[in-house]
Structure 1
Amino acid sequence: MFTNVIVKKPGKSYLSGLTTSDLGKPDYELLLTQHERYVKALEKCGVAVTELAASEEFPDSTFVEDAAVLTPNFAVITNPGAESRNAETVEIEAVAKTFYRKFYFIQAPGTLDGGDILQADDHFYIGISERTNEEGAKQLKEILESENYYATIIPLKEFFHLKTGIAYLGNNQMIVAGEFVSHPAFNSYEKIVIGKEDEYSANCIQVNDYVIIPSGFPETNRKLTDAGYQTIELDMSEVQKHDGGLSCLSLRF
């Protein structure tokens, strides 16, 4: 069960943030509305939400997930792979001190984005991507194993971040898309498979009694409902324009 969530309001500078998509320029007012609905959905899931103020100097800082990896007993402050995002960790470390006493840090030349880290009970999967390098992945693996977790490093072939195409739902169930559908690292899990046309919806988040999914993917919603999950659908159009998804916008612990 999650009890706390950290989110950060997007600033106007978000409009000039990093993106690889060709989906157009975000609508800032619509983005704010979508973010507000995201916070309300989290509150419906029964967690206490800590919302940080916007930081105009960091256009991508609403994607708080990339700045830390939070476990029940310790926090790992990352070293994001995009240089413009490195200093985002300062604020996240400060707010994490409200909840944690034990900290670890990813050190350069290692880079690591939280979007490349998936926890499934006592097992962590660490993606190597354009933002997380081999050194950063190895550092996190050593940290996790020193704390009696298991860790598996997975070089990515298709997705921007590991969690772009996979989510853990609990109860030994994974939602998977693309390169993860037949990946041997996930053979021990029961899989809910997402088709190519619906891949964006694989980035969903299980928060206590609900699974929050992006709207516009009725087949994904049906599969989750048939599997016994209660879903909350949210419009994520302006987040998607900057390569973001549901998991990117929060740190859940």
Structure 2
Amino acid sequence: MANMCPYGRFTHAVVRGIPETFGKPAGDGRENGEISVDLAKAQRQFGCLTGALRQKVGLQLIEIPPDPELPESWRIEDVAVIQGDTALITRPFKQQRRCEVEAVRRVMSELNLTVVEMGTEEGDSAGATLEGSDVLFTGREFFVGISSHTNRRGAEVLADTFRDFAVSTVPVCGGARLKNICSMGGPDTIIISNSDGAKKTLRMMEQLTDHHYEILTVPEESAANCIYIKGPSKRDFLLHRPTEECPDSISVSAATITPSSLSR
């Protein structure tokens, strides 16, 4: 959460624990096309993330307890898009994920944010789907990735909510979600994967924007998924995968680098 400045200082971070029902322990193989997940490793990585946010970055951490009935609820960025003092509660694509918004809505209200609801399938937002991992805010404008999770109607709802900023839609090429292939690496720096699909998406972004961004291309796709934070101590941080997970990627020197083992 940031203040009213477009890319203001972050003060809080809201996270949600990983439930025991998320995935399956590694070694069970694949069933019905599902990829096995090392639950213990994911929970350790979650601990690394929360520790970095609290101890290194200095944010006030709000942790929503895990819910075994909601196995994907740890993907908390999907259910709210926050800019300034406004929180847009989204509508995830999967019907079974839509109950995740309830706990997040309560936290947003407790933080005294103006809460905007996408609401039910009826009304002005009928048919809209939007997940936060398809939303890239650059500090100047929004890019919304059109993917299997987010549609154009969802992007229109976001544009109607944040009218002070331009909102452009781009196809997500070569990744499941927009922020799987690109993220912010600084106030005017976009980190992007070296894949052909990511390059295609970037070309679309460049055609749609009036702003100039520095582009940092990284060889590994996972290295493109970072979290840029303007910390409360007037230091900038970039949370990214550990070097051993992305050995070929370019080091980013424009910010204070904080490695953290993260799951996508």
TM-score by length of 2: 0.80
By how many angstroms is 1:136 displaced? 1.0
Matched, 1:210 2:218: no
| Match in the other structure for 2:258 | 232
By how many angstroms is 1:155 displaced? 2.0
Matched, 1:2 2:10: yes
By how many angstroms is 1:24 displaced? 4.4
Unmatched tracts of structure 1, length 5 or more: 245-253
1:133-170: CA deviation from partner (whole Å, max 9, x where unpaired): 1211111122222xx11111112232211111111123
User: Residue 22 of structure 2 aligns to a residue in which SS?
Assistant: helix
Distance in 2 (alpha carbons) for counterparts of 1:83 and 1:23: 19
Which residue, out of 23, 29, 32, partners 2:43? 32
Which residue, out of 117, 120, 135, partners 1:117? 135
Matched, 1:193 2:211: no
User: Given residue 240 of structure 2, which amino acid in structure 1 is its aligned partner?
Assistant: I
User: Residue 231 of structure 1 aligns to a residue in which SS?
Assistant: strand
User: Residue 103 of structure 2 aligns to a residue in which SS?
Assistant: helix
Which residue, out of 117, 136, 160, partners 2:154? 136
Aligned-residue Cα RMSD (Å) equals 2.0
1:42-95: CA deviation from partner (whole Å, max 9, x where unpaired): 111121110111100000001100000011121100000111101101111011
User: Residue 218 of structure 1 aligns to a residue in which SS?
Assistant: coil
Report the structure, 1 or 2, having the larger helix content.
Answer: 1
Which residue, out of 198, 202, 219, partners 2:248? 219
1:201-246: CA deviation from partner (whole Å, max 9, x where unpaired): 10011122221111211333x4313xx332222233xx3xxxx2xx
| Match in the other structure for 1:149 | 165
User: Residue 219 of structure 1 aligns to a residue in which SS?
Assistant: coil
Identity %: 23
User: Given residue 221 of structure 2, which amino acid in structure 1 is its aligned partner?
Assistant: E
By how many angstroms is 1:25 displaced? 2.0
Residue pair 2:139, 2:187 contacting (<8 A) in 1 also: no
Residue pair 1:75, 1:100 contacting (<8 A) in 2 also: no
Q: How many residues align?
A: 227
Which region of structure 1 is more displaced relative to structure 2, 94-103 or 183-192? 183-192
Unmatched tracts of structure 2, length 5 or more: 1-8, 25-29, 122-126, 231-235
Distance in 1 (alpha carbons) for counterparts of 2:174 and 2:67: 31
TM-score by length of 1: 0.83
Residue pair 2:108, 2:115 contacting (<8 A) in 1 also: no
User: Residue 15 of structure 1 aligns to a residue in which SS?
Assistant: coil
Residue pair 1:74, 1:100 contacting (<8 A) in 2 also: no
| Match in the other structure for 1:62 | 74
Higher relative contact order (CA 8 A, sep 6+): 1
Residue pair 1:42, 1:207 contacting (<8 A) in 2 also: no
User: Given residue 57 of structure 2, which amino acid in structure 1 is its aligned partner?
Assistant: C
Distance in 2 (alpha carbons) for counterparts of 1:98 and 1:143: 20
User: Residue 248 of structure 2 aligns to a residue in which SS?
Assistant: helix
Residue pair 1:4, 1:50 contacting (<8 A) in 2 also: yes
User: Residue 97 of structure 1 aligns to a residue in which SS?
Assistant: helix
| Match in the other structure for 1:248 | none
Distance in 2 (alpha carbons) for counterparts of 1:39 and 1:49: 8
| Match in the other structure for 1:74 | 86
User: Given residue 232 of structure 1, which amino acid in structure 2 is its aligned partner?
Assistant: T
By how many angstroms is 1:183 displaced? 1.4
User: Given residue 83 of structure 2, which amino acid in structure 1 is its aligned partner?
Assistant: T
Matched, 1:171 2:171: no
| Match in the other structure for 1:159 | 175
Structure ID, larger Rg = 2
4+ aligned runs moved over 4 Å, structure 1:
none
Matched, 1:41 2:52: yes
